[in-house]
Chains A and B, each alone.
Chain A
């Protein structure tokens, strides 16, 4: 198969956050692109030029012994069907229901070989209601997971909160997910190139972490989601790193919602990128390191019950100078 897979953007967000507003903006803007849009409710969307497909959110457990492996059976079917009309669109947008856990959607793009051959997850975009999110986080696991899974967060309805309230919300969102690109918006007004077709999870900038948001004692209670970011100036040895990461995800995969990394291996001119959802991992050589690029290896984990000290120790143990 060629490497020209169709980019897929997943739109999530709790009920009322403004997901449909964003979708309508995407579809009505004159961008010259044609989208296939997979929606869950027959909403007030639909522009003649675009292809709207109804989904059922059928979450299937994989019968493969992996306890957290669930996929969206309907997406597998729909993406396969869409590909029969290959030239009809440039990208796919998937809207999830407000109560959806993003894991099965993301895992579909790791688990199903036929989907992987045709489509690739470009970004998970989460719309967050600045006014109500703190209350939602108190009573909804899904609201928290939607933020945790995001590559791009639209902190929306900022006009409905005070500057101090916004600070609190921003801090809370950043505690859950320190690595997503965050845009503060009203009516989801954001340049669409910040949301769509970002390319390969946008790893380059995603991993430029803002350290302030990653303090490890921000936990409000044990069950809340947090991010841990790690970096190493010393090259990572793959023969140590791979078994460490595989074992880590096998043991703690249920708690690890997402992980991402860009790694420098000794004597290799290419960057190695890795990403994961729960117990599923996917790694690849991505591109050459640029001549002026600092070869720093970085990883981000987002999940529950993460032990930053242990993660750091494990990662650093893989960064051993090769001449020892």
Chain B
């Protein structure tokens, strides 16, 4: 448990010393969402309709941008080998790194999204549902992303390849997450969506760190 906290502390400290990478991804989220009204037109009704999808897709893309960071730096300077060679469980360390990634990439999205949502003329209840769906969904994005990041470590063209590998896996999260916000806006029941998001989160928490640890060991061989 101590190792889990240590690795999160280490990763957060490293992010604090070099904030630009993280801020860039968040800035990307803001910019991309602003492009849609510019491209489609400022019709409030239309914006309200596309908002769930646009915000969720932008959150997805922003997460993808920041995923390389998870393992690439440690791989490049040899720290990843040291992490594998510690007496700690690699699964625990990977979980810690994913948690740190989420704290820095996912949680800010949860906080930023309602602000952007206002730009799309979403009402208060939709904003709450949006935040809640992102709160459950972004950890899943970080978790699934760790698999792609681990598989493509050190591979040429890795970040684009990683995005292509992970996107099909992201689709269920996108469907349930954006679907929840949409359903709420037309007055449908959202408990189904949230149960499914929750189920995805539990499944991901249970299995993904183990898979990513295996992928890391393969990458380092």
Do A and B share a complex? no
Query: Chain A interface (Cβ within 8 Å of chain B)?
Result: none
